[in-house]
């Protein structure tokens, strides 16, 4: 009873948040990293939502071996059937079904009575339980639900076969005292509660999601639902890294409760999420922000140098934040590079490893010091490409001219298999002109939704990392490119996105 279940919903509640949408392969990649992190349960998605969602829940269920994989379902048989089908291949499948229970939601959203609500819960949970031995029931908006009614809701779910009952603070309205008291009340009042796991699911509208979740744990909850970096609907969910490190660092305050999370994987997981989604981690973000372990003031630096504990309550290594800076140089071989990439979490196939090595050698000619951050940027820019020369557009050469008294011009040559196509275009700036030339070559129009450029490391010879998001009628596609030349980096990023777009078109 002293270990709590970490239920990660980055791929469901997190992915619902604007800007965090992931494609199929990205979701599977994230799921495998969540497994490496050691989460107990991962909510892979909402299988009924679309064929794409179904396919990714299924792919995750088939790929993940140690964690439970669950799919969300409304309290409807068709949703539960879709979830059951999608998680069929999981080593440890779970069905998660939910229904709102507050009078506000019953009256204005669902337009049903309390009695109907109870009937639907009984039907949905027993239906799910016939399909899966592990069933979670969530009472949406539980924190604003009449307490006596909430007891009845959970008693019904338990009697119908739920194995976990979840208490969401759906709109982030609760305070830690109130939420702790709610969990304590339920622990004392709900008949049969000793047979199930009680779970928290707190949103961060008032910035209290982590505090509320921890208050729930103190009051007896033994599952916490959370997301990496707290991403999720509106202001987000409880941040997993804060919960896990809070419990670990202040085990004295939280009754020596532990988790199965391998904390050294935390930083890698947060960075993978940021890399995949293109959303940066705020520098001041607790646990994983760039400044979380930086000591700027002289007094602090002096203190940390004499004894780290003066200003550090946990070590950067314990969350995987320490990086070896200077790693490889011009004379390093492919073997050394592959070893270092493996340490950084990139087990590349031989084609991609060869591509990264070629990019590394060319970078080593232009840049004196190559750091882990450079290597991650190079590897990431290749992960999305399929290394399939026959089907993908690749950059052969480009010439760009721009100045303050002329229109920018770009001449670009792309290759695809044996085809070599050259086009020229003008634009208000060099990137515009280059993108227009690419558009002419691929003969498919797209809208540029987002364009961002950043230096990977300090100094003038830094790699520029470009993130591009384009869209067409079928969807939006991200691309990442790196180069010491920002125009080249931009074209490379665009080509990753373009190849994804054309693949979808096929």
Residue 26 lies near Zn ion (rule: CB under 5 A) = no
Query: What is the 3-state composition of the chain as percent helix, strand, coil, each rounded to the nearest 5?
Result: 45, 20, 35
Selection from Zn ion, ligand KIV, none that 138 binds (CB < 5 to 8 A by kind) is ligand KIV
Residues 6+ apart with CB under 8 A from 128: 73, 80, 83, 84, 95, 97, 135, 161
Count of beta carbons in the 10 Å neighbourhood of residue 28:
19
Residue 134 lies near ligand KIV (rule: CB under 6 A) = no
Residue 265 lies near Zn ion (rule: CB under 5 A) = no
Q: How many residues does the chain have?
A: 506
Q: Which residues, listed in sequence order, are joined to residue 5 by a DSSP beta bridge?
A: 223
The structure tokens listed for 484 are 């010491």
Nearer to ligand KIV, 15 or 372 (CB): 15
Residue 13 lies near Zn ion (rule: CB under 5 A) = yes
Which of 8, 13, 134, 374 binds ligand KIV (CB under 6 A)? It is 13
Selection from ligand KIV, Zn ion, none that 98 binds (CB < 5 to 8 A by kind) is ligand KIV
Spatial contact of 163 and 136, defined as CB atoms under 8 Å apart:
yes
Residue 137 lies near ligand KIV (rule: CB under 6 A) = no
How many binding residues for ligand KIV (CB under 6 A)?
A: 9
Residue 170 lies near ligand KIV (rule: CB under 6 A) = yes
Task: Candidates 165-173, 276-284, 438-446, 457-465: pick the segment binding ligand KIV (CB under 6 A).
Answer: 165-173
Sign of CA dihedral 299, 303, 308, 314: negative
Nearer to ligand KIV, 57 or 414 (CB): 57
Task: Candidates 20-28, 166-174, 295-303, 323-331: pick the segment binding ligand KIV (CB under 6 A).
Answer: 166-174
Count of beta carbons in the 10 Å neighbourhood of residue 313:
9
Task: Candidates 50-58, 162-170, 323-331, 433-441: pick the segment binding ligand KIV (CB under 6 A).
Answer: 162-170
What is the rounded CA–CA span in Å between residue 182 and residue 29?
37
CB of 194 to ligand KIV, least distance (A): 23
Residue 168 lies near ligand KIV (rule: CB under 6 A) = yes
CB of 95 to ligand KIV, least distance (A): 13
What is the rounded CA–CA span in Å between residue 41 and residue 225?
9
Q: Work out the angle at residue 24's Cα, subtended by the Cα atoms of residues 23 and 27, and round it to the nearest 5 degrees.
A: 85
Strand pairing class (135-140; 93-100): parallel
Residue 201 lies near ligand KIV (rule: CB under 6 A) = yes
Note the residues at the interface with Zn ion (CB under 5 A): 13
């Amino acid at each position: 009873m002293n270990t709590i279940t970490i239920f990660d919903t980055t791929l469901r509640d997190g992915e619902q948040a604007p800007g965090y949408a992931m494609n199929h392969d990205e979701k599977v990649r994230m799921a495998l990293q969540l497994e490496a992190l050691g989460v107990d349960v991962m909510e892979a998605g909402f299988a009924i939502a679309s064929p794409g969602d179904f396919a990714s829940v299924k792919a995750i269920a088939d790929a993940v071996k140690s964690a439970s994989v669950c799919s969300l379902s409304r309290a409807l048989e068709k949703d539960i059937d879709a979830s059951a089908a999608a998680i069929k291949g999981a080593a440890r499948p779970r069905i998660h079904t939910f229904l709102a229970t507050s009078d506000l939601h019953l009256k204005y959203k669902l337009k049903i009575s309390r009695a109907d609500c109870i009937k639907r819960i009984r039907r949905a949970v027993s239906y799910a339980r016939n399909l899966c031995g592990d069933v979670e029931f969530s009472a949406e908006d539980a924190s604003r639900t009449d307490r006596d009614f909430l007891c009845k809701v959970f008693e019904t779910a338990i009697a119908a076969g739920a194995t976990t009952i979840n208490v969401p603070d759906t709109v982030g309205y609760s305070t830690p005292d109130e939420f702790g008291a709610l969990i304590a009340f339920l622990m004392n009042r709900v008949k049969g509660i000793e047979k199930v796991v009680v779970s928290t699911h707190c949103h961060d509208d008032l910035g209290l999601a982590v505090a509320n979740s921890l208050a729930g744990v103190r009051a007896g909850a033994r599952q916490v639902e959370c997301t990496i970096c707290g991403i999720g609907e509106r202001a987000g969910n409880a941040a997993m890294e804060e919960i896990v490190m809070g419990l670990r660092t202040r085990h004295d305050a939280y009754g020596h409760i532990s988790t199965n999370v391998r904390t050294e994987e935390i930083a890698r997981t947060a960075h993978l999420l940021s890399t995949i989604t293109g959303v940066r981690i705020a520098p001041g973000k607790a646990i994983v922000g760039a400044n979380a372990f930086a000591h700027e003031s002289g007094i602090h630096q002096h203190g940390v140098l004499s004894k780290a504990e003066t200003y550090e309550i946990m070590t950067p290594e314990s969350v995987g934040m320490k990086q070896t800076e200077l790693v490889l140089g011009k004379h390093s071989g492919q073997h050394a590079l592959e070893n270092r990439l493996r340490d950084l979490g990139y087990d590349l196939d031989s084609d991609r490893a060869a591509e990264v090595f070629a990019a590394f050698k060319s970078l080593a000619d232009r840049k004196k010091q190559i750091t882990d951050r450079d290597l991650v940027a190079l590897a990431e820019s290749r992960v999305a490409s399929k290394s399939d020369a026959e089907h993908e557009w690749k950059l052969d050469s480009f010439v760009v001219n721009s100045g303050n008294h002329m229109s920018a011009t770009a001449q670009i040559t792309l290759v695809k298999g044996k085809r070599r196509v050259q086009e020229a275009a003008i634009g208000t700036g060099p990137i515009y002109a280059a993108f227009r030339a690419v558009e002419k070559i691929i003969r498919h129009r797209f809208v540029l939704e987002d364009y961002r450029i950043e230096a990977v490391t300090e100094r003038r010879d830094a790699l520029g990392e470009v993130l591009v998001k384009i869209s067409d009628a079928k969807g939006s596609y991200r691309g990442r490119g790196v180069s010491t030349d920002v125009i080249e980096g931009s074209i490379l990023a665009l080509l990753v996105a373009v190849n994804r777009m054309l693949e979808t078109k096929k």
